[in-house]
Amino acid sequence: MTRIKIIALVCSLVIAACSATSCSLQKNTETKKASIKDICSEHMEKDGDTTQAQDMEIDIDEQRLTENALELIASCNCLRVEENMEVLQFNDKLMEAAKERARELAVSFSNTRPDGHDGKTIVTEYIPTAKPTSESIISCCETSSKDMKTIFNTLRDDKKSKARMLNANDKYMGVGLYYDYKNGYKYTYISIIYCNDI
């Protein structure tokens, strides 16, 4: 079983648990003393292979992107369960579309794509039959120390973003994250796209 399937399975179990309980998601957000780069560099130092260390850092980033995206989906669905609503589904294509959209946000942070089209239209490039309804976007710098729980709370506290999460007509959501490094800082861009059909 692949890593993403395992994570998706865990996510599904969390959602199921939300339906049976009062739905409380908690994540250990203890800050690591050493950065990923430091850990990778130390691990590879004996062989003197810095390229491999950089590759490992990228792999860990990709893993975290997937885990963080699924955590946001689980948090959103817990909120919907609390409101006695059906949970939102997701699939690989929708997640890929949202991830590509997050990449675009690093170029132009706007609900309008760099090519001038509305942000959510990217979904139909991956799923021609999809009917996207709305998009929420967010960005943060590593210096803000925002974890996924904090980002979810920010979305929940925003009236428009919360309304999108609780839209009764939507049945699917895709979450994409993208890391970009600028001037020595790590930025995270997030796109959340909702659809009423795919």
In tens digits, the chain (198 residues) has pLDDT values of 544 444 444 455 444 444 443 343 333 333 332 333 343 334 334 444 444 444 444 455 677 888 889 999 999 999 999 999 999 999 999 999 999 999 999 999 999 999 999 999 999 999 999 999 999 999 988 655 468 888 999 999 999 999 999 999 999 999 999 988 888 888 899 999 999 998
**Region for 57 from its dihedrals, namely left if φ exceeds 0, alpha if ψ lies in -120 to 50, beta otherwise:** alpha
pLDDT at 62: 74
Q: Phi first, then psi: what are they for 195, rounded to 5°?
A: -135, 145
State residue 61's pLDDT score. Answer: 66
- Rounded to whole angstroms, the Cα distance separating 19 from 153 reads 20
What's the pLDDT at 63? 79
Residue whose structure tokens are 């959602």: 15
**How much is the pLDDT for 60?**
54
Q: What is the pLDDT of residue 183?
A: 83
Going by C-alpha positions, the residue among 35, 68, 45, 40 that lies closest to residue 56 is 40
Question: What SS3 class is residue 31?
Answer: coil
Q: What is the pLDDT of residues 46-100, one digit of tens each?
A: 444 444 444 444 455 677 888 889 999 999 999 999 999 999 999 999 999 999 9
